[in-house]
Amino acid sequence: MQKADQVLSYSGAPRCPPATARAIGAGLSASTPPPQPHYCARAGYPLQSLARVAVLSVVAATSLAQSITPVPFAQTLLTDRFWAPRLATHATTTLPICIDQTEVKTGRIRNFEKAAAGLGQHEGMYYDDSDVYKVLEGMAYSLINNPNPALEKKCDEWIDKIVAAQQEDGYLNTYYTLTNPAGRWADMEKHEDYCAGHLIEAAIAYYQATGKRVLLDAAIRLADHLTLQVGPGKKNWVPGHQEIELALIKLYRITHQDKYLSLAYWLLEQRGNGFGKGMIWSNPAFGAAYCQDDVPARHLANISGHAVRAMYQYSAMADVQSLRTYAGYTEPLQRVWHDVVDRNMYITGGIGSSRQNEGFTADYDLPNATAYCETCASIGMVFWNHRMFLGSGESKYIDVLERSLYNGSLAGVSLSGDRFFYVNPLESGGTHHRKEWFDTACCPSNVSRLLPALGDYLYAQREDEVWVNLFIGNETKLQVGKTQVVVVQKTDYPWNGTVRLNVRPDQTLPLTLHLRIPGWNKQRELLINGQPTPALKNEYGYITLTRTWQAGDQLELLLDMPVEVVSADHRVKANVGKRAIQRGPLVYCLEEADNPGVNFNTIRLSPRNKWTVREQADLLNQVTVLQTGGLTFVPYYAWDNRAPGNMKVWIDWNE
């Protein structure tokens, strides 16, 4: 977990002494001094020199670049009782709500109709086109695993309206078309490129779902238009809100047109060189740092500014590095990753403590009740950490992805699928609640495109190697050379740590499996066809298992999943003298609905507390609760789904 909100570290090899790490990970005090720079946060265990660590990391990343690829979610059918119901709720409730808000209750679709006709006033915010595209992307992802003629027809109706609003030169943005046609590409903060990026991503998703090219062709025309406006020898340009870079890279991967990758790289290289100075940022008081325009990409070391914008930039940098290994982004990405995870991340995987700039202030400034932790920022952490894994093969990135997914991201939507959090505090007096929608609706639409694409994060592959990253019941099909392999995963994760994998190649096959060992796990056992295995090599947080497989082979991974009492870094002032509770990947909280009549200001925990783990089939869609001393803790993602009341993650502690 994170050094900022917990005394744990994601530093690379060598790892801390296991016994000490276990003690600190359990929230017990250590006899070692507080962590100092260049020391492991768990025990003050000295690392190799930074120079050597950097060299080793660069070699590892370079050797894996362009080689590890995600197994597409279209090849994976989710079957478990934790995620499958959520995906069903997304399809039956969340997606229809997003569609209704987009075309009926707000003017987002009407803006395209007006732009096509050249008549009328623009409704809403200047970036509202992006919400249409994100919802459309979620609709496309849903179609891949859940074919639905009515939903596809709705997509086609939207696409016709979108394409009709595109101008002859390829430009497409309803705000400028309706309010200031002469002002195109004059204000870097006005999200023209941000909206264009989400259009490109939606177009690619819909093309992959249906094979239909209408929106993809429109996206290509828009991208080509952009390449004529900005770039070497043209207009200098620094996107106010990063996103176009990610989209251009996706467009490069599907069209193989180098100009899109080159433009994405050029846009990243523009940052920190003064090209954005004098432009009208939406929050000029924060200066260039607000939009990550204060430091060149290759010099990055510290997180700053708006959290979501930063996540999208770092994701794009990781993508570029995987395609152009000379980009020079490996070391800066590792530096800023440690700054985020070690000093600026909440225990929930949320980031961005300040409402004022929707982002970062000073290191270790992690208030609880006023935590911002935008849902989109947690989703951005999923995007970025997945790409960091693909470029390195290290499980620490999947650890953070999982933390952000199960806690910070999943809390963003109610269990009923019809209410949303924009802000995710870690403490509430009973006044913070999910809402039906927002004027700035990036979070509902972002959740709507994350959930149906969840399968992307389960497995990854490189030739005859397969990485098992997330433990979710599923059936997936892989192609290894000329051999098809069906992998069936059965598990009740995150409620317990038993994971069963059936490997079914259609013929005997040599194959290497990399089984992730989560950072929170201290003890585990692995059985192959019912037989315990001897000590296995653990590389980058994975058990590496190379053998010849045949149909019916079964792995059983037994992960010990105790209740953990976790302490924060002493520099997090908000959590001095407090502890948080987690079990497996889930962070827990106290909620008044389970603890009526309890004074939340006087609750105390101590080492003397004994914990009971109890499954409650009738509570919050069947959760496992933790109980101690008359208190009941529920998973953080599930809070605010019942009557209003107090909530706390960090609890006062008595030694």
* 436 Cβ neighbours under 8 A, 6+ residues apart: 97, 101, 418, 419, 420
387, 338 in Cβ contact below 8 A? no
Cα distances (Å, whole numbers) of residue 153 to 139, 158, 202: 11, 9, 16
The DSSP result for 428-476, as a single string, is ESS----BS--SS-HHHHHHHHHGGGGGGGTEEEETTEEEE-----EEE
Three-class secondary structure of residue 644 per DSSP = coil
CA pair distance 323, 327, nearest whole angstrom = 9
3-state secondary structure 314-379: HHHHHHHHHHCHHHCCHHHHHHHHHHHHHHCECCCCCECCECCCCECCCCCCCCCCCCCCCHHHHH
Closest CA to 133 of 74, 185, 205: 205
Q: Name the nearest CA neighbour of 570 among 364, 397, 390.
A: 364
Tokens of residue 170, six digits: 């390829």
The residue whose two tokens read 């290191």 is 363
Strands 538-539 and 498-505 turn out to be unpaired
Catalytic positions, please? 358, 442
Name the 3-class secondary structure at 595.
coil
Q: Which residues pair with 605 in a beta bridge?
A: 653
Q: Contact at 8 Å (CB) between 261 and 248?
A: yes
Q: Which helix (H) or strand (E) holds 199?
A: helix 192-210
Q: Locate all alpha helices (DSSP H) within 211-329, ordered by sequence.
A: 214-229, 244-255, 258-270, 307-323
| Residue linked to tokens 């106290």 | 590
- For the packed helices 244-255 and 307-323, what is the interaxial angle rounded to 10 degrees? 30
* Distance (Å, whole) CA 159 – CA 167: 15
CA pair distance 347, 650, nearest whole angstrom: 10
With beta carbons less than 8 A apart as the criterion, state whether 515 and 543 touch: yes
- Rounded distance between C-alpha atoms, residue 194 and residue 245, angstroms: 9
CA distances from 474 to 77, 79, 112, 556 (A): 5, 5, 39, 15
SS3 111: helix
Do β-strands 474-480 and 483-491 pair in parallel, antiparallel, or remain unpaired?
A: antiparallel
